[in-house]
């Protein structure tokens, strides 16, 4: 990896239905189990810590989902999705007198290192002793609200991994670590039905997929922002290889509105899902974390959704996924 880690962040503005604390996603990462203070619902739970991939005797890393509220980082076991989430800790740069009032999203690189974004800064993070420590603050030189974050795999935006985010204007940027200097690398394109631009409702996730990268985003359109916007999110497939300097569209295919699928038997599932502020992807599924505390299974080929569980005490703001998580790409459209 280059001496200066490069990132891509999407500048974001707030539009209808999106509070100033909205975030973009859920994070999926490689992690080794440690012993944190577990959430009350999981007294034996463990959270993921970064693994040194070059350590000769390192234990095999464990895949975990990360998701965050405005103030706190959580973990979910992808091998047991019904198991209660584990609280990892609070962000020490969030709160009165701290660096920011909210953390709007998180992202994880291929080694398990976690990063965050707030409305006006990016943050490298360290998980230690029940606290999520903000190691540095990288001010973002834009007057808009950042709410999406993920990593682009190696040999896409650059030869190294690049942090990517998404905004309500559908603008994508890369940003150099520590400087706040950003370069636009694309947009999310336009909805062919309404003629309106796709805007990031909540999040996106990109995966390496053995050199054939796959990407998704939860998006919506707004006819009169910020007051009149689509109530339900749409799953958009992203052409990760199209991310490059410029204002070109990186939309690859509209997979479908995230409505309750015909195969969903959960009577508690609403007819449609909105404010999906965090997404992860694993095998042939996308999983969404919504602002109302819903955890949703989404078919990656159609966008059909089904409620897995809901926690009204958790207003999810963001999440992400490591680029090396296993993924099954949907059929071409």
CA angle 188, 192, 198 (to 5 degrees): 25
- Is 84 a domain residue? yes
Cα 143 from Cα 131, distance rounded (Å)? 29
pLDDT on residue 274: 94
- Is 329 a domain residue? no
pLDDT on residue 11: 39
Question: Given pLDDT bands bounded at 50, 70 and 90, which one contains residue 20?
Answer: very low
| Preceding amide of 226 cis, omega within 30 | yes
- Is 294 a domain residue? no
Query: Can you give the CATH number for the domain in which 138 is found?
Result: 2.110.10
Question: Given pLDDT bands bounded at 50, 70 and 90, which one contains residue 142?
Answer: low
Q: Is residue 157 within 8 Å of 244, Cβ to Cβ?
A: yes
Which structure tokens are listed for 32? 């080794």
pLDDT on residue 145: 78
- Is 328 a domain residue? no
pTM of the entire structure?
0.83
Helix (H, G, I), strand (E, B) or coil at 96: coil
**How many domains does the structure of the chain reveal?**
1
Average predicted confidence (pLDDT) for the chain: 82
Q: Is residue 70 within 8 Å of 321, Cβ to Cβ?
A: no
- Is 1 a domain residue? no
pLDDT on residue 18: 39
- Is 291 a domain residue? no
Residues 194-207, mean pLDDT to the nearest whole number: 90
Q: Report, in angstroms and rounded to the nearest whole number, the Rg of the chain calculated over CA atoms.
A: 18
Read out DSSP for 136-204?
--EE---SS---B-EEEPTTTSSSS-EEE---TT-EEEEEETTT--EEEEEE--B-TTT-PBPEEEEEE
- pLDDT tens column, 212-263: 999 999 999 988 876 789 999 999 999 999 999 999 999 999 999 999 999 9
Question: Given pLDDT bands bounded at 50, 70 and 90, which one contains residue 3?
Answer: very low
Read out DSSP for 289-326?
EETTSEEEEEETTT--EEEEEE-TT----EEE--TTS-
- pLDDT tens column, 254-273: 999 999 999 999 999 999 99
Q: Which domain holds residue 49?
A: 6-229+236-256+316-320
- Is 212 a domain residue? yes
- Is 191 a domain residue? yes
Per mean pLDDT, which range of 59-68, 112-121, 234-243 is the poorest? 59-68
């Amino acid at each position: 990896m280059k001496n200066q880690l490069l990132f891509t962040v999407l500048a974001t503005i707030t539009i209808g239905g999106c509070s100033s604390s909205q975030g973009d996603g859920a994070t999926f990462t490689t992690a080794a189990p440690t012993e944190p203070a577990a959430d009350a619902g999981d007294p034996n739970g463990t959270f993921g810590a970064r693994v040194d991939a070059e350590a000769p005797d390192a234990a095999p890393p464990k895949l975990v989902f990360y998701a965050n509220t405005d103030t706190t980082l959580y973990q979910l076991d992808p091998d047991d999705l019904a198991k209660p989430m584990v609280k990892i800790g609070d962000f020490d740069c969030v709160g009165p007198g701290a660096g920011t009032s909210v953390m709007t999203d998180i992202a994880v690189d291929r080694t398990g290192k976690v990063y965050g974004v707030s409305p006006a800064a990016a943050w490298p993070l360290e998980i230690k002793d029940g606290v999520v420590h903000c190691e540095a603050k990288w001010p973002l030189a834009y007057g808009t609200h950042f709410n999406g974050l993920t990593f682009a795999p190696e040999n896409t935006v650059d030869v190294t991994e690049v942090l990517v985010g998404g905004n309500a204007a559908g603008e994508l940027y890369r940003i150099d670590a520590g400087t706040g200097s950003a370069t636009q690398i694309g947009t999310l394109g336009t909805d062919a039905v309404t003629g309106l631009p796709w805007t990031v409702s909540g999040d996106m996730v990109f995966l390496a997929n053995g050199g054939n990268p796959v990407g998704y985003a939860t998006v919506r359109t707004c006819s009169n922002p910020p007051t009149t916007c689509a109530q339900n999110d749409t799953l958009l497939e992203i052409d990760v290889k199209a991310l490059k300097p410029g204002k070109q569209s990186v939309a690859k295919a509209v997979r479908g509105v995230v409505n309750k699928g015909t195969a969903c038997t959960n009577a508690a599932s609403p007819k449609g899902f909105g404010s999906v502020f965090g997404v992860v992807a694993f095998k042939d599924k996308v999983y969404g974390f919504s602002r109302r505390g819903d955890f949703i299974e989404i078919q990656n080929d159609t966008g059909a959704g089904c409620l897995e569980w809901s926690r009204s005490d958790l207003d999810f703001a963001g999440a992400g996924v490591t680029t090396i998580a296993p993924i099954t790409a949907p059929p071409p459209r």
